[in-house]
Amino acid sequence: MGDGLSHVDEAGAVRMVDVGGKPAVRRRAVARAVVRMAPATVAQLDNLPKGDALTTAQIAGIMAAKRTADLIPLCHPLPLTHVGVELEVVAEGVAIVASAETIAGTGVEMEALTAAAVAALTVYDMAKAVDKQMSFDVVLVEKEKA
């Protein structure tokens, strides 16, 4: 009944995948988010009522990556060797690139996606007082195993 889905057992119940037999190898993932906002909001990013949105979002993204297993029920806690969150002001808003690296028996894409998503949510939170129409999307850009 699991239909080959790794998080579903033969009876159809959810489970955490056993990665104990997989070799620990270097793994890296990159996710991207774009927070879209009005041009007037872009112009105010360095002077928002709540303070420095970009630095706050960068730290929030890094912290979130480290807590991914606490947020996503079936994710394995991973020993992250690096998390990077870069934010850039662009014409349509804020572009975010988050990367996560580990040496483990399972991938690190959920950590990169979580970092990008939480950084985007933080930008949203920091700017919502001046722009109620913001939106964002998050995508996985790259996943590699050495």
Residue bearing the bigger pLDDT, 8 or 60: 60
Its domain, for residue 43, covers 25-145
Taking Cα atoms as reference points, which of 5, 21, 118, 145 lies closest to residue 63? 118
Residue 17: inside a domain: no
Residue 14: inside a domain: no
DSSP assignment, residue 18?
Answer: -
Residue 60: inside a domain: yes
How sure is the predictor about 4, in pLDDT bands with cuts at 50, 70 and 90? Answer: low
How sure is the predictor about 21, in pLDDT bands with cuts at 50, 70 and 90? Answer: confident
- Is 75 in a helix, a strand, or coil? coil
| Cα–Cα distances in angstroms (integers) from residue 41 to residues 16, 60, 81, 117, 134, in the given order | 42, 21, 35, 20, 9
- For the annotated catalytic residues, the residue numbers are 125
Count how many domains the chain has.
Answer: 1
CATH code where residue 51 lies? 3.30.70.640
Question: pLDDT for 24-74, tens place per residue?
Answer: 999 999 999 999 999 999 999 989 999 999 999 999 999 999 999 999 999
Residue 4: inside a domain: no
